[in-house]
Structure 1
Amino acid sequence: MATIFPARLIPADDAARLRTLHRYQIVNTTPELVFDDYVAWAARLFGVPIALISLVDSEYVWFKAMAGGSAPGLARGESMCSAAILVSDEVVVSDYKPESCSLIKPDVAQAVGLNFYAGAALVATDHARLGMLAVIDKEVRGFTATEAGLLTRLARLVSRTIELRYHYLVTSQPAEWEDAQHELAQALDESSTLARYLASRSQGLDLSDPEVWQPVSRCLESVARVLDRRLE
Structure 2
Amino acid sequence: MAGASDNGGWSSDGGSPDDLPDLPEEWGVIVIPDDLSELSDEVEAIREELRLSGPPTRWQRLLRRPGVRRVRRLAAKAVRAPVLIVSLAVMVTVASLFASAWPGPPRQPAAQRTAATAAVGGTTLPALELIASDGRTVPINGQLPAVILLIDGCACAELVSDTVDAVRPEIAVITVSSTATASAAGTPPTNTTPQAAGKILRPLHDPTGSLRSHLELPAPDGVAAAIIVDRSSKIVRQIPRIASVEDLRADLARL
TM-score interval for Structure 1 and Structure 2 normalised by the shorter chain: under 0.3
Larger radius of gyration: 2
Return the structure number with greater relative CO, CA threshold 8 A, min gap 6: 1
**TM-score using structure 2 length:** 0.25
